[in-house]
Amino acid sequence: MKTRFARKFEPARRKFLKQSAAIGGGLSVGFNFPGALAQKAGAAVEINAWVVIRPDDAIIIRYARSEMGQGSMTSAPMLVAEELECDWRRVKIEYASANANVKRKRAWGDMAAVGSRTIRNSQEYLRRAGATAREMLIAAAAQQWGVPASECSASNSFITHGAGGRRLSFGKVADAAAKLEPPKDVKLKDPKNWKLIGKSVKRIDIPDTVMGKQRFGIDVQLPGMLYAAIAQCPVFGGKLKSIDTAKVEGRRGIVKVLPMESFVAVVADNWWRAKEALRDVHIEWDVGANGNVSSASLMEFYRGGLDAQTDIATARKDGDFDQAFASAAKKIEAEYYTPYLAHSCLEPMGCTAIVKDGNVDVWTSTQNAEASLANAAATAGVPLENVEVHRVQLGGGFGRRGGAQDFVRQGVAIAKAMEGTPVKMLWTREEDTQHDFYRPASLIRLKAGLDASGSPLAWYSRVSATSIIATLPRLPLKDGVDPQAVASLNDLPHAIPNVRIEYAQRNTHVPVGFWRTVGHSQNPFVRESFMDELASAAGKDPYEYRRTLLAKSPKDLGVLEATAKAAGWGQPLPAGVFRGIAQTEAYGSYTSAVAEVSVDKNGEVRIHRLVLGLDPGYVVNPDNVVAQMQGSSVFMLTAMFWGEITIKEGRAEQSNFHDYRMMRLREMPKVEVVLAPSGGFWGGVGEPGQASIAPAVCNAIFAATGKRIRALPLKNHGLTLA
């Protein structure tokens, strides 16, 4: 189906967009762009911002956030449909327009798909939107029949009156329903009456993907479009000094070389020509003060944070750690390190834009269309209302495409320099790897004091790391603490009477950002490995040790027990195979993992089985949740075995997949997912799955070899994934 980049809410802009579809072939998609479906049938009626109904009973549910494989484009509309009581088979999903969100006072609320919050943060207003629309449809039918609405009910896209069985379809009353005053306080269903939530539903975007019709940011094609490749200063934060374009002047296809403040763009008639020419542009950079920074100097700087007496923030203080530690029967101390990590979205960063007549149109793979829109407006110097961010599928996000928006500023700056011409900017993989906002490196010191029975009386952690919050969104830190940096330490749920958690904010020139699971991608490794050290020092079974300490934390305990039970904790294993366990909370969900591992004499780690438990409160689309847990396994195993960005002469040393290794299919272990939703709360799904994996595997490696892993990645310990 051909769909236009039509904009229901701004007819003046339609001409260009319509033309682009006609010449460029448009985007063939299974879901739809803002307003397109509603426009197609003239009489389609918007009941509210989320629900549009066509006379032929097609139900259009809008989706406001982004789709990057997490499946929310299907599961969020399920929440609307559940309350709407519509026929899911007739549901079509279209993106809400970012431009319309500006003009309609954020009718669709937050558009960001970040922090595993699409479902948990929007579930209430989405269900309410469905229920409100349902009540309006029922009221309209009741009016038509001249009966009280209380005698009518809705199901499967029909309103029925009493036992008599008079029926009207949603499409027949949509027009009248839209004219009614929306009810203020609709009642949401009791979860036990859900029909759709909790059932596995096919993801809406998959068929197009499988046919090669899915359109990602990189696939946008516009009439007269040019292509840009860029080079950024290899040392983070450096500026352009000068360029010499003599070698590319007059070269076939090259339209322009643009010297910008911190990058150089070559604009050409195809991307390959632009990229090739860029290699022959001689560029002089002003690298600034950071040209000598190395991984070793950074480590020294972070170590300073561990030893410092000043500039330290306290994230949590229970009881008196110092006194309890001093009097402990047994003292344990350790240091843990987790490295910088790149996101490596398989689709490199990019942005297509046209700046024309004071308007800006942007096509980009973004996790936050509102942030993209604001960045485009600021870069072009136009009001927010003059910008549209057209929605496309993301070739991976993992946090890279949310907060930073550097690629949007670049793309719009290029388009502004080429005013009137659409330009598609695309990064190389090398730019993508070397100009990331990396998962922060973190150095952590831990101390614990046990009593004579081995029970922990005192726990201390100090985290020395760069603050994402202070350096990326540049927000002030409450009490000097970046919650991501101390995540899962400051909220330690274990029964330990004396706890002190400290944060040493140590910011460097290496850009850091949100990376799938962020602080919970590293601190649970530290916490749950150290917890294993305590259990080992106490001579206790690591599962039973945790159970005792979590006796008063029912959700943590529940998922720990469900996972251990599914894994058969305590039951005999084949010779040479050993278990490790871990448990943590992340993004409002509770997770646990049990790994069964053997390690051969060459350091090959075979993961025989990985059992992953998750309690997200409610499960909306179970098969999709399983997929997220499977994917989390690959993401975390990749990071823990190979992931490490090192710094030399102020720049990232790794550049592409030959030296920044990704896990392959042959390395995929058997992953068993245990969904244990306990109800009563809404937790995240896209990220929590990763949290318990690294410590479970490392604890199993300890059980197998006696070697305690205190720094990642495992390749630095001579270990690899078999």
Residues within the interface to other proteins (CB under 8 A): 25, 68-71, 202-203, 205-207, 209-212, 214-216, 218-219, 221, 227, 252, 270-273, 344-348, 393-398, 426, 428-429, 623-624, 627, 630-635, 656-658, 662-666, 668, 671
When the beta carbons of 357 and 604 are compared against other proteins, the nearer one is: 604
When the beta carbons of 70 and 583 are compared against other proteins, the nearer one is: 70
When the beta carbons of 140 and 426 are compared against other proteins, the nearer one is: 426
When the beta carbons of 346 and 551 are compared against other proteins, the nearer one is: 346
What's the min distance (Å) between Cβ of 469 and other proteins?
A: 26
When the beta carbons of 397 and 677 are compared against other proteins, the nearer one is: 397
Per the CB < 8 A criterion, the answer to whether 154 and 137 are in contact is yes
What's the min distance (Å) between Cβ of 671 and other proteins?
A: 6
613 DSSP assignment: E
Q: How far apart are CA 456 and CA 198, in angstroms?
A: 40
Per the CB < 8 A criterion, the answer to whether 312 and 462 are in contact is yes
φ/ψ (deg, to 5) at 481: -110, 125
* Distant-in-sequence, close-in-space partners of 407: CB < 8 Å, separation ≥ 6: 349, 350, 351, 364, 401, 425, 427
Q: How far apart are CA 279 and CA 395, in angstroms?
A: 26
Q: How far apart are CA 433 and CA 103, in angstroms?
A: 37
What's the min distance (Å) between Cβ of 210 and other proteins?
A: 5
Q: How far apart are CA 76 and CA 93, in angstroms?
A: 10
Dihedral class, residue 568 (left if φ above 0, else alpha if ψ from -120 to 50, else beta): left
Dihedral class, residue 132 (left if φ above 0, else alpha if ψ from -120 to 50, else beta): alpha
Per the CB < 8 A criterion, the answer to whether 689 and 524 are in contact is no
What's the min distance (Å) between Cβ of 440 and other proteins?
A: 20
**Three-state secondary structure call for residue 94:** strand
When the beta carbons of 551 and 662 are compared against other proteins, the nearer one is: 662
When the beta carbons of 205 and 532 are compared against other proteins, the nearer one is: 205
Q: Where are the alpha helices (DSSP H) in 146-253?
A: 170-178, 206-210
What's the min distance (Å) between Cβ of 216 and other proteins?
A: 6
* Distant-in-sequence, close-in-space partners of 76: CB < 8 Å, separation ≥ 6: 63, 64, 65, 118, 119, 122, 126
Q: How far apart are CA 657 and CA 322, in angstroms?
A: 46
When the beta carbons of 30 and 603 are compared against other proteins, the nearer one is: 30
* Distant-in-sequence, close-in-space partners of 251: CB < 8 Å, separation ≥ 6: 273, 277
What's the min distance (Å) between Cβ of 67 and other proteins?
A: 8
**Three-state secondary structure call for residue 615:** strand
When the beta carbons of 409 and 516 are compared against other proteins, the nearer one is: 516
What's the min distance (Å) between Cβ of 36 and other proteins?
A: 19
What's the min distance (Å) between Cβ of 55 and other proteins?
A: 29
What's the min distance (Å) between Cβ of 398 and other proteins?
A: 8
What's the min distance (Å) between Cβ of 200 and other proteins?
A: 9
φ/ψ (deg, to 5) at 126: -70, -45
What's the min distance (Å) between Cβ of 643 and other proteins?
A: 12
Joined together, the tokens standing for residue 636 give: 């975390």
Q: How far apart are CA 34 and CA 216, in angstroms?
A: 16
When the beta carbons of 112 and 328 are compared against other proteins, the nearer one is: 112
Task: Kindly report the three-state secondary structure assignment for every residue of 371-408.
Answer: HHHHHHHHHHCCCHHHEEEECCECCCCCCCCCCCCHHH
When the beta carbons of 650 and 686 are compared against other proteins, the nearer one is: 686
When the beta carbons of 114 and 501 are compared against other proteins, the nearer one is: 114
Q: Which residues of 147-166 are buried (b: 16+ CB within 10 A; e: fewer)?
A: eebeebebeebbbbbeeeee
**What is the gyration radius of the CA atoms in the chain, in angstroms?**
27
Per the CB < 8 A criterion, the answer to whether 127 and 56 are in contact is no
When the beta carbons of 157 and 393 are compared against other proteins, the nearer one is: 393
When the beta carbons of 32 and 624 are compared against other proteins, the nearer one is: 624
- Four-point Cα dihedral 258, 264, 270, 275, nearest 10: 150
When the beta carbons of 550 and 671 are compared against other proteins, the nearer one is: 671
What's the min distance (Å) between Cβ of 587 and other proteins?
A: 18
What's the min distance (Å) between Cβ of 335 and other proteins?
A: 30
Between CA 172 and CA 179, with CA 177 as vertex, the angle to 5 degrees is 130
| Residue among 365, 323, 554 nearest 449 (CA) | 323
What's the min distance (Å) between Cβ of 273 and other proteins?
A: 8
What's the min distance (Å) between Cβ of 193 and other proteins?
A: 27
| N-term to C-term CA, the chain | 45
Per the CB < 8 A criterion, the answer to whether 351 and 427 are in contact is no
When the beta carbons of 435 and 527 are compared against other proteins, the nearer one is: 435
